[in-house]
Structure 1
Amino acid sequence: MASLSTTGAAISRPAYFEFLLKPSMLEEHLSQADPDPSAIDLMTQMVCNSLKRTASEQCIGNHVDVMLMQRKGHMLVVLPLRILTHLNYDVQLLLDKLPLEMCDPLLNYLLLECLGPLAAELTPASFSLDLATLLPHQVHAASVYFRYVLAAVVASRVPRPPQHRNTPLNLPGMSGEGTSEYREEREVLLAELSSKGDFAARILDSLVVGATQVMAPVSTSFSLSVPNLGAAKGSTHNFNNCIEIPLQQFKCQVHYDLGLFYFVTERYSDANHHFTQAKELFAGLPEKTDHCSVCPSKLRAYNNSCSAICGRSTPLLQRTLLDRFTHATTAVNYQGLLDVLSQDDLTHELPLYLRQKLQVDLMAAPPHTTTQGLFFQVCCHNVMRCVLEEKVWDPRFPGHLVTAGKQGALFLLQLLSSKVGQLSSKQRPLVHQFLMCINVQEGVSAVLVPSLMATAPLANLFSHLEMLDMWQGVEEENQAKLMRQAMDVNYGVELLDDANLIWELIHSHEPVALRRAVTRYVASKQQQQHGQSGNNHKDILDLHDKWEIPSPIRLTLTRIPSTLHRYLVSIFVAKAQLLLQSKSWVESCDLLDAALKACGEVADGERGEGGRLYKMLTFLKLSHNIHKWIHSLPHTDDGNSLASEAKLCLMTLNGREDVVPWISIMNWCVMCLVNARDWGSLVTILSGLQMPSSSVPLMSFLRPLLETAHILDSSPSPSTHPHLDDESFPRFWKTMVKIMDTASQHRKGQNSKPIERYSETMGMTEFLELVYILKEPTCLTLLTSCLGALYNKLLGEPSAEVHILYPHLWSSMTPSKESDIATVREALSAVVQHAIKYFPGADHVSESVAT
């Protein structure tokens, strides 16, 4: 019985030809909750079989056979259109679920059956139709077809993840030997649709402006009766039986589709117009619409993008916040920035990462600039935005508040009080919680509470008892400081709960406070091991997922028996690495000094690990100092001592790849000597320097660059130098050509050879990373001259050549056929912009090169 029921279930799934024999089954089948086969499956099978019918089939047999074949062909066209009515003519659904080769004939059928002979006039080659004469159902059919044309063009320009298409048939050419022909046919179809894109956009523009009524045919509108011989297409259909589409939904959908088409074709002004129209229409639509599938979040995103791109010609105050923010960050003294941030605190339109990046840039600014006061004001705005959005705010803010003093506290409270009247009932408790949280931090009460009590809108958020407790904290602060100082003498264990302890370990960056916290943490961990009370304590580096230290240092630390010193060095190095990323040089070096001090306390007899660890920390501090010095160039001259340390480091690690702790230390040392212009040491050291394998591309580039730079620097007049025929210049030219060739091959996707682990040629990414830390004027002069000469030779147009210095150096050189002019131009622009940034008045840089 089981087998019989299974067979019966299998037989119950109707085939597509059963609907041809009994068309009344279609409505009953599609009205099911989950029809099998689905509407998409049936539509695909019918359209596919309608395409397979050849002219010979229609001509075989007697008159009766011919009539039967015509009826079958007509039904294979009409029944898919009836199914299409059940899908509400959803163009995007068709493109997602059907192959393009099925969508195109289906929507052509719709156009032919609804417009009849007029369809032939809706082509770019023979367009002569007055669109105002179209009937309401013909307006709908034309709009569906031309919306499909635009949607296909958009889909071809913007790749998306492949959609699941439940297609039970193998289309002609989709398998076996016909795959390449199938792809060629698809490309031909896409090319044909792309050529009709602008025409389709013009038709839809006219329809959306002139349409006064739009009617969509329903299932019964399409008749199964075959037109008589000589009758027009669609003459048997009943288009009086249609449903009216709300004009607002129709226009919103068409404006959105036009906006997408103009956006991907980079006509942003037209796109902005249509997205703005669609946004205004969408605001008046009901929550659920049957004939408009516009996604509001995508519509808003596209509209904002177009507004930002097209906002250059509009007044500044009428532009989007993103455009105003970009303008303010590039203006003199950041004019208008605080107004933009103040408005965004409540609207939340700006991406939060842009505001955080601005804060990091202001924090890294030199101390003598006028941005120090602005830095704290930006911190206040960013913290307020995070508080109101219920996101994690910067844990360093209490420290910034203490540094800013009473004036900083007053600015923060005035900013908060100006927004209190605009806050919701949910946001007011968030501000209250934030102020209570920062008040418990050391040193904050003295600067915050007096101003808070005098600020009426904010003071109303607190009860009388809360105010008394906060004021009592101000009076007790001096006494608490004295107690903590007494306990810090011998790094004694302070009895605080685990939550405060962990908070101090994660958020503090002051070496003495960190040492005290680590001491308490180790003591608490030892108490736990002896069976006393206490929570489970992890390894100290597991407390924060962003704490990372170089692997050689971590491996060496595992061999240090002393838990206290192991944890001290770990947390000092981890926090120093984090501060280095935010360019907090002073605090980073202070923590590394504390790590060296803790390492010096390790007993010498502990298997010699203390000495090895001390040397690694010295190397790490050296790389930090070099990083800081290069970043401050050319406004500093403090490079002689660093160059001496770098030479000593290179001589120590030369040829000993097994003891190099991390490769970047040697690279930083070499770049220190380059930027210090220590030509004598460079010639001596680099000639006998044996770098690790991964540094081969760097040295293959640097050696010819430094040789030619040394020749150029030592010559009073390069145009008359007697050694310009030296092999150094051709060698440097070949090196640069190889780099550009490799980058061009990767850019064109022509590099079919497997990439070696350590290639001798530097890639474009590594080349640009090196350029950004290269601030030696002679080397930058050579790079701009060589790349400019290569660009001019590839360009081959004397009238369009860029101006370079020393063109005679490269007059006999020839470019490679593999070099791509766009890649060379990109590299040249990056080098020139970098040189202009650090040497704005230098003669080796020309603004015309970067344009």
Structure 2
Amino acid sequence: MMDVDLLRPGTVPISPDTILWFEFLLNPSLLEKHISKPSPDPSATDLMIKFMSINSDPKDNDIRIIDSETNESRLNNGKKLSHKSVALKILSLKVGAFLKWDLDILEKKLPLPMQLTFLQDLYYITGDVIVEIPNPPDYPVETVTDEFLFAIVLYHRWHIRAIVNRSLNNKQIKQQFIHIPGIQEPTYVSPAYVDDILRKLEINIHNSLEVLNAVLNLKDINPKVLTFDTFQMLNEDTLEIKQNWNNMKSISVDEFKCQIHYDLATFYLLREEYKEAKYHVSQAKNLFSKLGTTDTLLYCRVQKNNLHGYCLATNVQIEGIKPTLTQRLHNSIKEQYTNIIDILKEDNITREIPTVYRDNLELDIQGGLVNKKIFVSRDLLLKIQCLNLVRKIIDGDVVQGNYITELKNANSKGLDYLFDAIDNVLINSTIIHKQRISRYLMYFMIMTDMPDFPLRILSNDNYKSLFNDDDLNEIKKQATPDTDDIPDLLLNNNWGVTLVTYTKSHAFNRFELEKKLILSYDPIEIRDILIKLDGNSSINPLWKTNCRWDLPIPLQSVIMSLPRSFQQDYSYILLAKTRELVTLKNFDNARLLLNAIEQEIKHNRLSIKLSIMINWELILVDIWHYLNVWPLIDCCDIKKLTERCKECLDSLQSTDQPIPRQEIIENCTIFLLNMCEWDYLSGLEKRWNHYEFAAGLSILCQDVVKYKGTRKFSREAWDIVLLAFGPNREQPQKRTSSSISSGTSGNSAAKDMLTIITSTLSRLREPTALNIAISLLTRIHNVLRDEQTLEVYSQYLVLWPASIPNTNSFPVRTVAEFLLQLLTQALKYYPTNVCWLRVMADLNFVLGYYESAMKYYLEAIMISSDLFSLPIPRTIQPVFWRMIKCCAHLQCYTQATVLCQFLEEVNYSLAFKMASSDQKSCATADAMDAYYHCIWDTTILEYLINLHSKRGEHHRKQLAIKVIGLLELNSNNNEEIQREAANIRKARFFRALAKQYVY
């Protein structure tokens, strides 16, 4: 057989050994003889493509329709299918039968439109019907013939597998060129055409699931497989189409159902429907174990290794295979950490579980305990930390974290767990491991200065044997501090000096008491000092002792309304000191002072209004504490604090109670926004300016979360931000959707709103609200700049209008600075949010900070690809254009040349321009070697060879020749090896960029 192009007559001189495609029609025996060869050329699938592409010629195969009255296959001109067309279909099906209907081969070798045609032909031959795939009619599987049942099951298996293959391979595999009806270019398959087919398949997937489950539920079933001899070729004397169904081969029900269960399990695993997936995996495993050797199977193509992987993923037990420690770890996590300590102890000996899993386990338990989402024994976290610490010591890893602090705080209990973990590995440890343990124990002893620690080492011979004599002497010194070197003079107070008694004046005593009063934060001590000072009557009140003691006007007014007494001074000073402690972020002691004031009010029956205001101050301290420690929210009961905030805001609606001051109202509103109390905020009466912006964000958060943005969006937040950033107007404005009165000037209103927006955005923590705010500022920035090539991408941009009136009057630079500050804050709390990293990168690119833009682009790629170990998602790939531009601005032209390969279609003109822009883009030979080995496009390498040859750059020329030689050498490898090599080159390149811009 000659090259596959010889199937097209007339292209080259034809060899006598060449078989033309129509000869298979004239002599059917040639087909089996040809495809039975060890390496037929053309291959079996190439023949199928040829038969179907010829059969798809518009002049011989017009659009097919079904006559609903006669149920006959007809064309749009009313004629039946020609004998030639039917014969070509039979040839394709015979090849498919020869391949044992292996969908793995057909899906890999045939383009998607050809796969549809093949299944349509199978329906036509086995059921004498023409169906429109991907939406064939429903046929009762209980009553159809054996051959038609085979066709139905094969189609629906292919249907769910097509969805799986599409999801696992986002980038369309480049298929060989074929002819598609209705397309002018016969060598091109439109990606839109393929996407349209897959979209229709996705819509009708439920039908295939129902059919396959119905087949599995059949009781009386005798499955049969169509064979090569089943299909009978046509000749010039054939009057009707008949197949020899007696040549079908029967297969066992177990083999038939095992394959269906396996395909359904794959689909449900993809959809993360693990209950259904586990059922089908279990059934497939049980049936597969009955089949024996797979070489004798006619239908089932289940791979044993893949099936075992499915069993592990769904926690289905496999007989004869003991679960690994990693599997036992994951199972223990699912079962609320059962036997987790024993597993980690065993792993410290075998060191099988990756350390990243153990670190994640520690962080998950720590976070769960803080957020009160899990309930485990109190010491479980400390035990796991000790075991992880020992594992890192043995592995020689850098010990990060606050292990020393945790063990020191746990005192003797922490040492018990640490030495227990060391005892577990000490017997089986090598000399190097023992050295590492001894070095860390010495370091631990020096850092903690715990007297019990050296005593434990000296009391155990196993631990003493780890140290040399010098170290043991040092440990003994730590265990028994030597005081002989301290002079006797320093050990007693008798220095032979006569004591002189000084008499302190009244003013000096008062000064010392006032100094203690200023420095003290103990309410009991403050009370005693005030009593002593009150006994020494003074003209000025005691709360004026420190000029920096200042209170908000509402609090000061209430306290000053009290009678001049001890309670007035005591309340004022404690409140002032509370504000000092909050400034120092000492929230626990701030609460103690406020509680002391509250007790004083209750004991002496002072002002009820002051008691209410003190309660509001407690709420404010809790909110500040929440904002400071977020996301480790352990400062208070969040649910209770949420209710207290609501009660505080509800008090604004009553007329017979005091009103909270504005700072408290503002913080309560922002706290409720962070707690996702959007229904409550959107229903508040907008009497206060800070209600408006929070309510506007709340309505949008509701729309995004509940209705996925399908409802008409609210423009309140948009209008408020535009007012804040808008042009200043001195004349009064009419009241619009904003609650600002018409008597307020536009300049003042804008400043007030800008202050409120700044205050709200700086305290946003909830991710949905942050996302909405980022998208709002991004849209305003894009509209004001009005440059399509410099637009910043963000989620939810469609929520906002696409135009702003009088854009020239808005400060675009101010909007960009606000957005930059908000993104910096958001990434502080969510550093792995890929979308926000991309927004930050785009914004830096627009502002001309190209090095920072590269940093954030690379961080986004790094996170989305799991440190460059996975393929880069398609959603992040559009950033390559801007990365190329950043490299060009930074004069890193070699990097830009390499990045040109990452575009969906390599832009050779841009790559050539970058390559020739600067002869010193990579100064050192090492840098050239690193980046040139990341180029896999031979066209670019050939250009570089020519370029360096003209410039006389012999080293670079030889380097490019070396790289292109390696690529040609590796071209003989299979596709999987080549793909893996390309992934390694890509990862190497991005790691080099990250080393330059990120680390």
| TM-score, reference length from structure 2 | 0.40
**Per chain length, whose mean CA-contact separation is higher, i.e. which structure has more relative contact order (CA < 8 Å, sep 6+)?**
1
More helix per residue: 1
